């Protein structure tokens, strides 16, 4: 496996373990009564977090798409320039004979 895959798996695994440890810690330190009182508020907070995540993901997708379009235009321009160079080379070989 490549180094990037190993690091990716380590980061994801560490994040999952950290979230499980945090959940267990909160369950031990804070009583059920307190958690029940804040249950409705937590739902709204998660909804806001979800919306913010969706907006950021949308911006990221738009940025990636724009960079892809720029890269594609650059490749097309390079291909056209190469075609012109090859055409000029063939033309100079034909006219020199």
Give pLDDT tens digits for 21-53.
999 999 899 988 888 888 888 889 999 999 999
pTM value surpassing 0.85: no
For the chain, give every domain's residue range: 1-37, 39-97
DSSP 38: T
Per the structure block, which two tokens stand in for 24? 């267990």
Q: What percent of the chain has a predicted confidence (pLDDT) above 90?
A: 60
3-class SS at 66? helix
Vertex 37: Cα angle to 40 and 41 (nearest 5): 25
């Amino acid at each position: 496996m490549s180094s990037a895959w190993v690091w990716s798996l380590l980061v994801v695994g560490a994040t999952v373990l950290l979230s499980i440890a945090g959940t267990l810690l909160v369950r031990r330190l804070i009583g059920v009564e307190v958690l029940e009182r804040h249950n409705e508020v937590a739902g709204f907070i998660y909804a806001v977090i979800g919306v913010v995540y969706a907006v950021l993901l949308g911006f990221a997708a738009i940025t990636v798409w724009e960079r892809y379009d720029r890269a594609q235009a650059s490749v097309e321009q390079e291909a056209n320039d190469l075609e012109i160079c090859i055409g000029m080379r063939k033309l100079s070989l034909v006219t020199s004979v």
